[in-house]
Each structure stands twice: as C-alpha cells, then as structure tokens.
Amino acid sequence: MTMSLSADLWPDVQPETARRLMLAGVESFARRGYHATTTRDIASAAGMSPAALYVHFPSKAALLFAISRSGHEQTLALVRNAVAKVQEPVECIRLMVADFVAWHARRHTIARVVQYELNALPEQELEVVTELRREIERLVREVITEGSATGAFTVADPRTAARAVLSLGVDVARWYSERSRQTPEALGKEYSELVLSMLGTRAG
Amino acid sequence: MTMSLSADLWPDVQPETARRLMLAGVESFARRGYHATTTRDIASAAGMSPAALYVHFPSKAALLFAISRSGHEQTLALVRNAVAKVQEPVECIRLMVADFVAWHARRHTIARVVQYELNALPEQELEVVTELRREIERLVREVITEGSATGAFTVADPRTAARAVLSLGVDVARWYSERSRQTPEALGKEYSELVLSMLGTRAG
DNA sequence: CCGGCCACTGAGCAAGCGCTTAGAATGGCC
DNA sequence: GGCCATTCTAAGCGCTTGCTCAGTGGCCGG
C-alpha cells in the first residue's frame, strides 16, 4: 500500500484534492514566489481547472497561509520536542539544531515558502505565524541563556546567539537541493557541531 | 553642502532622477517584493509619472538588475578588500565577516533586495549576478581552506563552513532594522567573534 | 430509478498590470 | 529668437490577474 506525499505532509487535510492543491502551491510558490504564481499555475499543476481551487480554499492567500502555518507548526514541534526530551543545554541544542537543519534540508521546498514568502501573507494571518516564530526564537534563546548561566556556553549575548543559530538553520532552505552531497541527517549533525562550536562549548 | 542618499549609494548613475527611481525601487522591492510592486508604485514614490521610469530604464526588471548588480559588486568588493589587505587567515576572516555583516545591517533594505529577490531576475541577468555570488563564496572558502591547512581553523568541511559563514551574514538583512540595539559595526564585530568561534580557532 | 449533494468545470468579469506613444515643457547653443 | 536634445506627462492599449457563477457529472441513500 502506497501513500501520496501530500497525505504524508498534511494528514489532517481533507480531501485529497485539497492536499494536491497545497502541494502544487508549495512547488509553485517555492520556485517563482507567491506573487509570480497564478491561480491557474497552481490549479493546472494539480490537474484541475482554476475554479477548483476556490472549492477548497477561500483565496490564494488562504492557500499560502495553510502551507505556512503547517510548516511553522512542524518546526516549532521539533524545537519543543528537543526542549522536552533533553534538559542538559549542550545536548538539547545539539538535538534541536540537528532536527531543525535536517527538516529544512529534507523539506527545503516547503521551508522556502515558510521562510521567504512571509510578507505575502495578509496582516491577520501574518500575526498568527509571527507568534509561532517568536515562540521558536524564545525557546532557542532560553536554552542558550540557561547554558550560559551554567557555564556550558560562552557567548557575549544570548539574543544575538539565538538569532545566529536560527539564521544558520533557516538559510539551509535557500541552497539545499536533492543533489547536495549530504543527506539531511548528516547535514544536521555537521551543523549541530558548528553551532556548539560557535556557542563556545569546551569539547565541541 | 549636503548630498542625497542615492548619490552616496550609486555615484556613477546619472542623472539624479534615475537614482531616485532606484531608491524608490529598493524600498518598494524590499517591503513588498518585486512582483507585488508595480511600476506605478515606484514612479509615484519617486515623485514622477509611471512613464518616467522608461526614460531611464528599459524595463522594471532592468531596474531590479541595476540594484542587484550594484549591491553584489559592493559586497564582493568588501570580501576582496579583506583578502587583499590581510594574509593571515584568522584576521582575514575577522575583517571580512565584520565588514560583510556591517554592510548587511547598514544597507539592510538594499541587502534584502540583493539576497531575496534573485529569482525575479531574468535568466541572463541572473547569470551575471550568480557569477558574482560564486566568486564571493569561492573567496570565503579559500581563506577557510587555507586556515584549515595551517591549523588555525578546525572544521570538518571548508565548503559547508563557508556556506555557514555566508548564511550568518546574509540573514542579518532579514531581521536587522534601524531600531536594532546594536550599530552595524558593533554587530559586525560580535558576529566575527561568533564565526571565529564556529571555525574552531583556539583563542576566539 | 430517483433526487439531492458535493466536487468540479467553462466561460467570463472587473480591475490592475507592464509598457507605449504623442506631445508639452525645459534649458543650452548658435 | 530659432532649433534641437533631453526629460517628463497624460492617456491608454492589450493582456493577465484573482475570483465568480451557472451549470454538469457522478455518487449515495432510499
């Protein structure tokens, strides 16, 4: 029994046609950008007529929002999982960065939409997503602050350090492709070493 | 005697009206993105009629290209300058990152267009810009490789490390604003410390 | 076999797009 | 003053856009 990619990515979206539209949207938005993508592009990539989009989504922007929110929730879940599972700051950051980077590599198409099409969102929807982003940054910052206090990390400013850590992870989406030499997991591991080094751990 | 900002940014562009259009373009492209910006937006922000744009630029895309190429040339010049002035890898990277980051903070509006509106460029123009980007990455990679060989740096893979260094610098453009607590120069200095730490120097 | 329901289509509308064109101002040079 | 080059505008053309709506086919309970 095989499962479609879209069912894997958005198991709670019904019906399957709506998921196909989201997948087509992701690919179009990632390649050309939101504003350069037409509803006709999306619909025909999903094998339907332009009007079919409006059966499942009230607008083109709503489709973007569905994609963006889901992506942000997935990455937030990764970060939360690391915080919940590992108390010790060094190992927590190691797991967090490894997962975060691996996700941005494996799902680089989605991640590109999530990270680089933010300002195409309508105001209200942007607020929802911004709240998720703040929470992600807050969690990272707290772990770094904690590690700084115990002496595990040596950083001038946890706020700047947290932003730098996220920059490293986020930017992976921009350049990673299927033809990259490393698997998402291997890249995640390498990046977690770089980050721990950057944060000034004694034994990287 | 006062000088306009645009004359400071693009001293070789004539006449002043063309520079005003570029400035208006930068601000519009940075805020809304290239495709969401209309030629009417740009023209009216520069205080002129829509048709005036076409006196100085053959198309909207040509305006973007002028902005993008100039920005890339400026950042490449920064990197080249560091390589030319400082032979020793650690100090070379320190200067390079400090300047690169400070530029992306001070010119964050331009930098946002330079870094995030690439795929709006027509194919031929994109090639020109891509070549400049490759050169920047190559220079960074070479310094890291050299420092790795002499034992000044300790990195698993210079290619990945170079990309990480650039990711840190580029991403500054995304979040820096005039209200940020640090001056561009202070941020550059802080980031250069983070990068040297990341590259595994003994005395960060 | 029927009737309502849901997903979907074909056609098309109003608005906005990049860009063009004809012509009006302006300033320098004889 | 007469002439040209340069720079800008008013108007608008042809096209594409996001989205709508009347209608169609297929499925399901009865």
Q: DSSP letter string over B115-160? A: HH-GGGS-HHHHHHHHHHHHHHHHHHHHHHHHHHHHTS---S-HHH
Q: Which of A61, A121, A4 is nearest to B33 (CA)?
A: A121
Who wins on pLDDT, A79 or A11?
A79
Confidence of residue B203 (pLDDT cuts 50, 70, 90): low
| Mean pLDDT of all residues in B33-62 | 96
Alpha carbons B86 and B66: distance in angstroms, whole number: 31
Q: Are the C-beta atoms of residues B140 and B100 closer than 8 Å to each other?
A: no
| Mean pLDDT of all residues in B68-86 | 98
Q: What's the CA angle centered on B112, arms B108 and B116, to 5 degrees?
A: 160
- Interchain contact, B200 vs A195, CB within 8 Å: no
Alpha carbons B100 and B79: distance in angstroms, whole number: 7
Smallest CA–CA distance from B204 into chain A, residue: A200
B11 and chain A in contact, CB less than 8 A: no
Q: Residue B5's pLDDT is what?
A: 74
Q: What's the CA angle centered on A118, arms A10 and A35, to 5 degrees?
A: 95
**Residue A73, CB half-sphere, CA atoms under 13 Å: how many?**
9
The gap from C-alpha A24 to its chain's centroid, in whole angstroms, comes to 18
Lowest mean pLDDT among A119-123, B5-9, B65-69: B5-9
Out of B33, B161, B194, whose CB is closest to A164? B194
Q: Residue A204's pLDDT is what?
A: 45
- Count Cβ atoms below 10 Å from residue B187 Cβ, excluding itself: 21
Q: Are the C-beta atoms of residues B50 and B32 closer than 8 Å to each other?
A: no
| Mean pLDDT of all residues in A3-27 | 83
* Residue A3 predicted with pLDDT over 70: no
Q: Give the pLDDT confidence of B131-153 residue by residue, as tens digits.
A: 999 999 999 999 999 999 999 99
Q: Residue B174's pLDDT is what?
A: 93
Alpha carbons A173 and B153: distance in angstroms, whole number: 26
Work out the angle between the directed axes of helices A16-32 and A60-85 (0-180°, nearest 10): 90
Footprint of strand D on the protein (CB under 7 A): A 37-40, 50-51, 54, 58-61; B 15, 17, 43, 47-52, 55-56
Alpha carbons A28 and A12: distance in angstroms, whole number: 22
* Residue B90 predicted with pLDDT over 70: yes
Out of B35, B187, B198, whose CB is closest to A194? B198
Reading the block at residue A127, the tokens are: 């607020």
Q: Residue B1's pLDDT is what?
A: 38
Q: Are the C-beta atoms of residues B164 and B200 closer than 8 Å to each other?
A: no
pTM: predicted TM-score of the whole model, two decimal places: 0.92
Q: Residue B2's pLDDT is what?
A: 42
Question: What is the radius of gyration, based on Cα positions, of chain A?
Answer: 18
B204 and chain A in contact, CB less than 8 A: yes
